[in-house]
Structures are given as structure tokens and as C-alpha cells.
Amino acid sequence: MSWLPISGTIPQYSTINNALASDYYLKFYAAGTATPINMATDSTGGTLLAKCALSTFGCPITNPLDISTRFIPHIDQNYRIVLFKNEADADSNNTSEAAFNIDAMALQIAPSADATDISLRDTNVEIQDDYDRSPIFVATDGFTAGAGPHVITVPTVWTPTNADMRFYKVDASGIVTTLTPTSTSSTTFTLTETLLSTDSIFIGDDTFRSLNIATQAEANESKGSELITVKTLAGRLSTETMAGIVEKATSAELLAGTANKFPDSAAIKGVYGAPYRADALSVVWTGSATSVDMDALAGGWPGDGFYVIVDSSTYRHVAYLIVDVLITNATDVQSLSNNLAVRRIKKTGSTNILSMTSERKENTTSSSTAVTITSISKVI
């Protein structure tokens, strides 16, 4: 047979966690057997490889040290395709830990192919395509291992009751089995099969297979992980550690704190980041003194920041920071009431004494007198 490509464009593979399959290894076997076969780098069959590494973009490369050596694997017979997680497993043909193991792949359609070849090829491509776009349900996130029934809830973008919905299981060896749920709803499907902790469930339909990704491979090569792939868009809800689908929260959901509803930046402007408003105080000193050594406090210097100072003055007052403690901004020197003021304090030296002076003004005459400080609290 001729050497024919397994794909019409450079393949790109991802892991079960939607990350690019960097440093994974691709290997081929004769269909229905465990006998490895070579792949060719082009249609001439001049350069043969027993296996090939995947680049940081998840694409086949002929040289593991040079990601520019991308190529489309060519095969000359029907095959089984296996994606190994490392080179050692590929060399030892250890398929038990393989990312996937798909058998009965027909050689790319050739002019002499008959209707059976075309049907078989289309079926296997559909399964692999569904897997690449599907959320992956596993024993720790989707179902509980053991005997059925298993009621599995899908992300909101999928509808199990659709006539074109397909359901599959992948076992520990990567073998794919088509499943038929006993019942479906708009959000769930039910399986009666016994599921092992090593099994994974995935789904597919023609809606996501029809998405236009004509520029995806080219964009991946140029942007890497910045690209939002179709698999991510069609995947599960996003979490703290996994990219996925988010749904914008309504005002009511935002106020109620509804789970898995996410506000946009405009809705939370001012809540996070500047401007910031503190809502708690930490008392750093209490007593009765006309001056307080900020370095001699129980915990030492409490740090630069805003402080609430309570004193015994019956008049408006200002804070004087002796030696090396500074009020950093004139607009911060404001009294809130006769005996309560907020001061922004910054340490700039080794000796830091805080004292308060009450200022009284009658007609054109003003006078100042020392004030007894009763407490100092830091705004946190």
C-alpha cells in the first residue's frame, strides 16, 4: 500500500486535563494486534520512525530536541494508534497507562477505498473527535465506581436528550466502548454498567463537531497555551485549577452568592483591588499619655498604614509625629470628631514618637496644648 497521512493537517493532542500533551509519545500497531509498525514522515516512506515525540504544542515531531520538525504521520496499513505518556512506556509497549488506545483505524481513504472502508474510517474519526471535545467524567469527578445505575450530570452546554448525542467509555487500556444510557434528561444520563475507578466516560454530538476550527492548528503553533481551544469551551465548569465554562452571574445571583456563577469585572469593580476600604481595627496601644513610643509597643513597630487615634481633647486637633514618624499626605490630617482622628503614619527612621496637640482658635487668637492619648488602633 501507499504511505498515507493519518490526518489532513498536523494533529494536536491534549491530556485528560485539557493540557497540551507535551513530551507524550505516539506509536502505531497493526490493527487488531500488539505488533508495532513504523510510521513514515511523508508519502515517500523514505524516513521511518518506530515512535515519535510530541512537541510542547502537542504536535508530532521527528526530533524531540527540535519542535520545528513537525510532521503528519503516514501509515501504509490499517492500524491501532496509542498515545503514551512517556518514552519508557512507548518502548516497552505498556498500554495500561496510555492516554488513549484506539484500534481498528482504517487507512486514510484512498481512491480504491470502497464503501466499507469509508464507513469504518468515518466512525473511528468521529470517536476520536468526540473524545477531543468532550468533558471527561472520572470516578473522582462525575460518578462513583461500582455497580450501576450511575446518574451523570453534564455541563450546561450539553443536552443528553438530543438525538445526535453519543456516549462512550474508555478503560484503563484505552479501549473505547460505545454506551447506551437507560435514560436521559436535559442535564443527565443514566448508565447501568459497572464502572471501575480506572474508567473514564466521554460524550459527543454533532453540534460541537461542527464548530469552525479551521485556524486552530496554526493559532496553537503561534500562541501555545494562550489559545482557548474548542475542548475547553465544550468542557466542564471551570474550577480553581481547571479551565472550563463560566456563566455570568445576574445581580440576584451575585448578591445571593450562587455557586458557579461568575460576575464580570464591571460588577465587582471596587470590591477587589483599589479603591480599598477596611472594615476592622487592631488595637496596638491603650493607656494615658501625651506621647507614645511606637517602637516600644508590645509587638514592636506595627507597620506603616492608617491609624485611628483616640484622645482626650475637647477641641479639634492635629497629630505631630516627632523625630522620624511622618504623616505622608496633608489630606490625611483630618479630625473625624473632637477626640477621634485618622492618621496615615509611615516609619522613616529609628526613633518614632507619636504625640498629639489640641488646637483652639478664638477670633484671631489660636492656642495649642498637649493632648492625652488614650488608644491607638491600626486599620486592617
Q: How confident is the model at residue 219 (pLDDT cuts 50, 70, 90)?
A: very low
pLDDT in tens, 339-357: 666 777 777 666 677 776 6
List the domain boundaries for the chain: 4-110, 137-209, 281-379
Question: Of residues 1 and 67, which shows the higher confidence score?
Answer: 67
| Distances, alpha carbon 77 to alpha carbons 88, 222, 330, in Å | 25, 33, 82
| Site of grid cell 445526535 | 164
- Element housing 20 (H / E): none
| Site of grid cell 459527543 | 204
What's the pLDDT score for residue 172?
84
- d(C-alpha 318, C-alpha 60), whole Å: 72
Q: How confident is the model at residue 196 (pLDDT cuts 50, 70, 90)?
A: very high
**CATH second-level architecture of 4-110?**
Beta Complex (2.170)
Q: Does residue 157 carry a pLDDT above 90?
A: no
- d(C-alpha 166, C-alpha 219), whole Å: 29
Pick the CATH number of 281-379 from 2.40.50, 2.60.40, 2.40.128, 2.60.120: 2.60.120
- φ/ψ (deg, to 5) at 144: -105, 125
What's the pLDDT score for residue 208?
60
Q: How confident is the model at residue 227 (pLDDT cuts 50, 70, 90)?
A: very low
What's the pLDDT score for residue 271?
52
pTM to 2 decimal places: 0.33
- What is the share, in percent, of the chain residues with pLDDT greater than 90? 33
- d(C-alpha 71, C-alpha 53), whole Å: 11
What's the pLDDT score for residue 61?
97
DSSP bridge pairs for 321 = 354
**Count of CB atoms situated within 10 Å of the CB of 331:** 8
- φ/ψ (deg, to 5) at 38: -80, 155
Q: What is the mean pLDDT of the chain?
A: 76
Cell representation of residue 360: 483652639
How far is C-alpha 126 from the chain's CA centre? 27
